Every structure is written in structure tokens, then in C-alpha cells.
Structure 1
Amino acid sequence: MATPLEARADKPPSDPTRDAMMLSAGFLTGHPDLRYRLLGLKRFKAGEFEEAFRFYQRAAYYGDKPSQGMVGEMLWTGQGTTQDRALAYAWMDLASERGYMGFLGLRERYWEQLSAEERARAVEEGQAIYARFGDEAAQPRLANVLRREKRRSTGSRTGFTGNLQIYIPGPGGFIPIDGSKFYDDRYWDPKQYQAWHDDIWMKPRIGRVSVGSVEQVPGTPPPASRIPAAAPQIDAQEPETPEADESGLGTRKDG
């Protein structure tokens, strides 16, 4: 008889970051956006706000919008970093880049509270933030990692992942995960992977990473980014973070 873990091993989870088997099998190695967001969340919950801020920035380097929103919120409140409302706006503008409504609402709330001088600086300094962390720079980076790590794991067997078995330690022995679950295209194909994120974040669900409260955008749709386009710096330096303690990432209970 199959154990409960084995019984669900052939079905891709709706959220692999909440699936202990997927994480135990090394899923986060190929998904640095999720990996560093979870590490940031872990440090944040431990009250280690300065380190959380750095991990969120590293996740932001790979285009993770919730992490970019957290950077903005922490700059706004001065939690784990020096308070800077102009930079906070620029980061929340960046988190809103794909039109996720919750982040757009927070962005507009920030803008309303900025002085004229802060608004001018947010627009000016935001260009450098977009150049380094915006989608035009971050998405190619992430796509390279997704493709590289999938090739590294499957080798010449790419395209036949449904026949692969991944084994992880479990109660009473090793538990198999079908390749069709672990290597589902929604998690490894760059376009499908972004679509999966869009499906999760297009509607306000900010509470999952504790970025303020959910903000609805009243009336007419908010304007597009107020920050002028900047040439993407795909090869910009990746933010440095402390040594990562990844224990417990597969057993989160954060709601």
C-alpha cells in the first residue's frame, strides 16, 4: 500500500514551496527567486531583519516581485535598513511592474505620502534600480538558471522526464517522486514559470509575505510606472547574503 506521501508523488503541487518532498529533492537549487525569498522570510520571522532585507534583495535580483515588495516595505518602515521613503517607492513601483494589483495599491499609497522632493528622487534613483532588478534584466538571468539546472539534472534524458524517478529520504526508506511532477514545465519553462507566478500574484495575496495589508486600487486603473525606462544590466553583480541556513524550508507553517 502506498504511503500518503507516495500517493501524491505523481501530481505537480500547486505551490512547490509548500511541498516538503519537492524541496527535499533540491527544487530550490534551480529556483533562486523562491530560494532566497524563503530564506528572507525565515530570517524575517526570526527577527533578523537586516539579514532578511539582504535575502529579499537577492531574490529580487532574479525578478521575484514579492521580495521586491518586501524590500520596498522595509525601506518604507526602516525595518532592517535605513528608512528611505523615496527608494521604498521605487522598489514598490518595481514590484508593480507586472501589474499585480496588491503591489499597485501599496505603490499608490506611498506616492500620495511623498513630498515633491521625495517624488523627484524616487523617479531619478529608481532608474538604477530598474536597470539592475527590472524584468528586462532579471528574467534572462532566471531563465538561464532554470534551463541550466534542468539540463544538469536530466542530461540527455530531457523530454523523457516522466520516466525519471527522484528519490529522497523518508520514513522507512526512500520515497520516489516522478519526473513528471518535479520537472513539470510550469516550473522550468521560463514563460510558463512566469505565467504560474502571474496566476498567483495578479490578485491581491500580499499577506503571504507580510508586505503591509492588501491594498485595492480605487477608481480608474493606476498609471504605469512613473520611472523612465533604463537599459537593463543583465550582468549586474548579484547581491551578497549571509551563509544560508536552509533547514526547515520544507516544513513551513506560515499560512
Structure 2
Amino acid sequence: MAGRLAILACGGALPVQLAAAYPDAMQITLNGIPSELVGTAQSFQLEKFGTIFDAMRTAGVTRMVFAGHLARPPLDPALFDATMMRIAPGLMQAVVKGDDALLRHIIGIFEAEGFEVVGAHELLPDLAVSAGLHLGPAPTTAEEADITRGFDILDGLAPLDLGQGCAVAGGLCLGIETIQGTDAILRYIGTTPEALKRGQRGVYVKAPKRGQDLRVDMPAIGAQTIEAVADAGLAGLVIAEGQVLVLGADRVKSAVEERGIFLISRSV
């Protein structure tokens, strides 16, 4: 029988859904990192990492899940406890290598302390869209070419540990998602002059980095993403099947229908 679960909750709706599905889970938030579970969770200082491990063991936790958007708050070395002093050098080296490298390192820290790290998609399997999702109109021949181009771009960027999405119109890359996130790049794409799109509306493609550990930072979309894609003037959104979480599926479907774009899952 699996031991008690801990939810390390950052920003967004995913931690809330996990907490609702696993009401007996220990809820953990970190000072300086926004979370919608504030008020129901135990909050800890990142500088005092040892207190997190101690509290998890006291609560009978044996497995944990990272959920939500993990920001990078400033750290005060003067406040480091003994555990943080021990792990800080490795963290600092991982920080400069990109998000996936950093998150893999953090997973390793928790595993070294004896905790099993599981993915949100393992705990809420219905959120990861399988093959065959197709809402809205069919992509045109040109849009199909842009979809292929988008996945090729993301595949090529994977070794650089960059973002999880890009927009393509008429074969041209309109933008690549980086640390600012999906909404920010879609707002920027919305400012693209029509003349640069070669007469095409374009598409947004979202997928994890090739080889990414899906236990942390698994790509996710919600109704807000659909609205942002439509506001950017794009024809639709394509996601990697089984590798992108859809939060609030009913609201997502309604948004797709109301805005007249498409939402499709594809194998990568």
C-alpha cells in the first residue's frame, strides 16, 4: 500500500485539483512562491530545506508530487540551515543549466532523502489527453504544414532546455515560449504584423522537451490558454498526446467552441 502523499504546491489550478482528489495529502507551499493553496497548506522557507524533510517524515509522507508553476524566488544565504548548506552548491550549478536540469536535480534531492517522486499525470490520469482529441474545425493544408514545422522546432530546441511551445505561420516561427510562459509569448505573437505571416493565421504547438522528466513541469493548458491562442489571431492549438495536461476540460471545450479555433492532440 502506498504511503501518504505530499503535494508541493506552486501556482496555477493543478495543485487545487490534486488537493481535491487527494484530501488526505500533506499540502506544502514555499514562502515567496505564489500558490492557490495558501491558507490550507503548511508553508516553509526555501532556505530551511531541512524543515521540509522533517515535516514530511513526521507526517508519514513517503511519496510526493510537484504541482504548478515553480517560480525562482531570491534566496538569503544567511538563513540557510544545515541541509540547505549541503545541497546549495549543487542547486546553484543546476540553476544555470535550464529548467529541466534544475527540476531533475530537485527530484534527485528528494529521492536521496527517501521520498518517491510521482507525476501529476500518474495521480490524475484523465488530465493527460490521449490520442484522437479534435475539437473545432479541421486544419487547412497550410496549417498542417505549420503544425509539423512547430513540432520540428521544439524537437530541435530540446537539447538547449528551452520552452515547451512555439507558434508558426506560413512556415515562419512567430515566437518560442521561454521562461515568461505561454500567455506572455501569445500576447507578443498577437502583435505580429499580418504581412509577416505569409497570409496564414498560424498555429501554436505545445509539447514537453524531448527527454523531459514528466514528473515535474509537465506542460498544461486550460481555458485561459484557448482564449490567449484565439486573441493572438492563431487558428488553433496542437498538443502532444499523453504529454500535456488539460485543466478544466469542460471549460476548455466551451472556450474552443466559442472562439472558433481548433484543439488537437498529436503523437510526437
TM-score, normalized by the shorter chain, greater than 0.5: no
Greater strand percent: which structure?
Answer: 2
Greater helix percent: which structure?
Answer: 1
Give the shorter-chain TM-score range: under 0.3
Question: Quick one: higher RCO (CA 8 Å, sep 6+), 1 or 2?
Answer: 1
